[in-house]
Amino acid sequence: MSPDTGPTPITAPETVDVLVAGGGIAGLVATAAFAASGFRTLCVDPAPPITDEMAPGADIRTTAFMQPSQALLERIGLWSRLDPHAAPLQIMRIVEAGGRQGEVREIADFNAAEISDRPFGWNLPNWLLRREILAHLATLPLAEFRPGIGVADILPRTREALVTFSDGGRVKADLVIAADGRDSPIRARLGIAATTWRYGQKALVFSATHPRPHGNVSTEIHRSGGPFTLVPLPDGEDGRHRSAIVWMDRGPEQRRRVMLAPEALAKEATERSGGLLGPLTIEGPIAVWPIITRFAHRLTGPRTALVAEAAHVVPPIGAQGLNLSLADIAALLDLAEADAAALGSAPMLAAYERKRKWLVRTRVQGIDMLNRTSIAGAPLLRDLRRIGIRLIRDIPPLRRRLMHAGMGPGLF
Ligand SMILES: Cc1cc2nc3c(=O)[nH]c(=O)nc-3n(C[C@H](O)[C@H](O)[C@H](O)COP(=O)(O)OP(=O)(O)OC[C@H]3O[C@@H](n4cnc5c(N)ncnc54)[C@H](O)[C@@H]3O)c2cc1C
C-alpha cells in the first residue's frame, strides 16, 4: 500500500425511489414510466446498449406493440418519439399450409377495423427502440441510466432494499424492479423458482425486402416445426418494401440454415413464405434465438417486483412477449401512483402479485399451446389445426373474441 492510499472509504449509499435492474426494452420503459410519474429512478445494466442496427450484437428483432402497450407509451410521453418509425398492423393473417406438399389450405384474415377504428398495433425495430428511449431518458430530470454496472447483491430491509453494484457502489431503493432478463440474477438471488419448457426449436430473425407491398398485413404461416411470420416494416428510403421475419423451426434445421449463403437462405425463406410477397432478399444480419417458455413461481420478493422476461418468457407467437411485459409495468405504475407512500411495501407487492400472476400464467399456457399446435407434424394434428383456423375465421363472435384477447384484456 502506498503511503497516501489508505483503506477505501465506505461511502454512504445513494438513495433513489426505484432501482431498475436491466436496460433491455422493458427496463428502459419502466425507467421512463416511473421517472415521468415523479419517482427518482435509476436503471443499471452491465451491457452497454447497442443502438445501431449494423453493430455486432445489435438486437435486430422487432416488437409489435398492441393498442394497450401503445397507450402506456403514450401515457408516459414516449409515443411521439416512436410513432414516426412505426409500421401499423391493420390485418393479422393466419395461413395454414400443412398439406402434404406444404400447400396453403386455409387463410384467415383478422381485420382490426372489425373491432376498432385503429390498427391492432405498431411494429418497431428493437435497436431503434433502445436509441429512442435512451434519448427520451436524457430529457427526464428524475431518470438516470448507468450502463456498465450490474446488480451484484440485494439485501431487502424493512424500509428499503440495499443494492450493491458490480463496481462496489451501493444504493438504497424503496422498490427494485427486476427487468434483468430470462436468466434474472435477482430472481435467483431471491430464491424464486422458475419452470422452463423447451421445444427443441430456434427462431431465425432477419429483415427482408420484397417486390409486393405488405399492405400492413402481419402474416403467420403454419406448416410444421413452428410458424413463419412476416411483420410489416416501413418502406426503406430506397422505396423498397420491407418486412421483419421470425422463422421458427427445429434446432438442427435452423443450425443448417444459418450457415447458408444469404441468397440460398433467401430462397428457402421465399419457399417457406409460399411466395406471398414475392422473392425475399435478406437485408442485414441474421440472429438465432432459442425458443423456450419460462415462468417464475412468484412475481415478487421483499421490496422487489419481477417484470418482463425475468418473470415470463414465451415463444414469439402473436406478438405477446413484450406486450405482456409492458402490462406488468403498467400494473406496477398504477399501484405506485395510487399510493406513492407505499412504494415497494409488502401490500403494494402483494397487490401486484394478485393482479398479474394468474393473467400471466394463463397467457403463458395459451401461447405454449399455440406453439405446440404450430410445431405439429403428424397429418391428423395438422388437419385439426386447419379445422380450428377455419372455425375461428367463420364464426364471427369467436373471431372477434380472439381478436380482443390477442390485443389486450388478457394482457392488461
Ligand atoms: C425472435 C423473437 C421475436 C420477438 N418478437 C416480439 C414481438 O413482436 N412482440 C413482443 O411483444 N415481444 C416479442 N418478443 C419478446 C421480446 O423481444 C422480449 O420479451 C424482450 O425483448 C425482452 O426484454 P427484457 O427487457 O425483458 O429482457 P432483455 O432484453 O434480455 O434485457 C435484460 C437486460 O438485463 C441485463 N442484466 C442482466 N444481468 C443484470 C444484472 N445483474 N443487473 C442489471 N442488469 C442485468 C442484461 O444485460 C439485459 O440488457 C420476441 C422474442 C423473440 C425471441
Residue 286 sits in a domain of what CATH number? Answer: 3.50.50.60
Q: Is 61's C-beta closer than 6 angstroms to any atom of ligand 1? A: yes
Q: Determine which residue's CA is closest to atom 50 belonging to ligand 1.
A: 316
Q: Is 60's C-beta closer than 6 angstroms to any atom of ligand 1? A: no
Residue 1 lies in a domain: no
Three-class SS of residue 402? Answer: helix
Weakest-pLDDT range from 150-154, 286-290, 400-404: 400-404
Q: What is the pLDDT of residues 261-272, one digit of tens each?
A: 999 999 999 999
Ligand 1 center–CA 57 separation, angstroms:
13
For the residues of 100-113, what is the DSSP string, one character each?
A: TT----EEEEEEGG
Residues 294-318 have a mean pLDDT of: 96
DSSP assigned state of 177: E
Q: What is d(CA 207, CA 227) in angstroms, rounded to the nearest whole number?
A: 16
User: If pLDDT is split at 50, 70 and 90, which confidence band does 9 have?
Assistant: low
Q: Which residues contact 295 (CB under 8 A, 6 or more apart)?
A: 194, 195, 311, 312, 313, 360, 361, 364
Greatest Cα pair distance, the chain, in angstroms, is: 83
Q: What is the pLDDT of residues 39-60, one digit of tens each?
A: 999 999 999 888 888 888 888 8
Question: Which pLDDT does position 1 carry in this prediction?
Answer: 38
Residues 193-221 have a mean pLDDT of: 95
Q: Which residue range is the domain that position 126 belongs to?
A: 14-407
Residue 8 lies in a domain: no
Q: Is 328's C-beta closer than 6 angstroms to any atom of ligand 1? A: no
Positive or negative torsion for Cα 203, 206, 208, 213:
positive
Q: In this predicted model, which residue has the larger pLDDT, 378 or 69?
A: 69
Question: Which pLDDT does position 97 carry in this prediction?
Answer: 86
Most confident of 54-63, 290-299, 363-372: 290-299
Residues 14-24 have a mean pLDDT of: 97
Ligand 1 center–CA 360 separation, angstroms:
16
Q: What is the pLDDT of residues 114-165, one digit of tens each?
A: 888 999 999 999 999 999 999 999 999 999 999 999 999 999 888 999 999 9
Q: Is 24's C-beta closer than 6 angstroms to any atom of ligand 1? A: yes
Question: Which pLDDT does position 409 carry in this prediction?
Answer: 46
Grid-cell match 401515457, residue found: 75
Question: Which pLDDT does position 408 carry in this prediction?
Answer: 58
Residue 279 lies in a domain: yes
User: If pLDDT is split at 50, 70 and 90, which confidence band does 3 have?
Assistant: very low
Residues 315-344 have a mean pLDDT of: 94
Taking 60 as the threshold, does the pLDDT of residue 5 lie above it? no
Residue 5 lies in a domain: no
**What share of the chain in percent tops pLDDT 70?**
96
Ligand 1 center–CA 113 separation, angstroms:
31
Query: For the chain, what is the domain count?
Result: 1
Residue 48 lies in a domain: yes
Taking 90 as the threshold, does the pLDDT of residue 20 lie above it? yes
- Please list the alpha-helical segments (H only) found in 110-247: 126-137, 185-189
User: If pLDDT is split at 50, 70 and 90, which confidence band does 6 have?
Assistant: low
Ligand 1 atom closest to Cα of residue 321: 12
Q: Determine which residue's CA is closest to atom 30 belonging to ligand 1.
A: 181
Ligand 1 atom closest to Cα of residue 309: 26
CB atoms within 10 A of CB 20: 33
Best of 164, 325, 364 for a ligand 1 pocket test (most atoms within 8 Å of beta carbon):
325
Q: Is 185's C-beta closer than 6 angstroms to any atom of ligand 1? A: yes
CA-CA distances (angstroms) from residue 203 to 123, 246, 251?
18, 6, 8
Residue 6 lies in a domain: no
Residue 9 lies in a domain: no
Residue 2 lies in a domain: no
Best of 199, 309, 324, 363 for a ligand 1 pocket test (most atoms within 8 Å of beta carbon):
309
Taking 80 as the threshold, does the pLDDT of residue 319 lie above it? no
- C-alpha grid cell, residue 47: 451491457
**What share of the chain in percent tops pLDDT 90?**
71
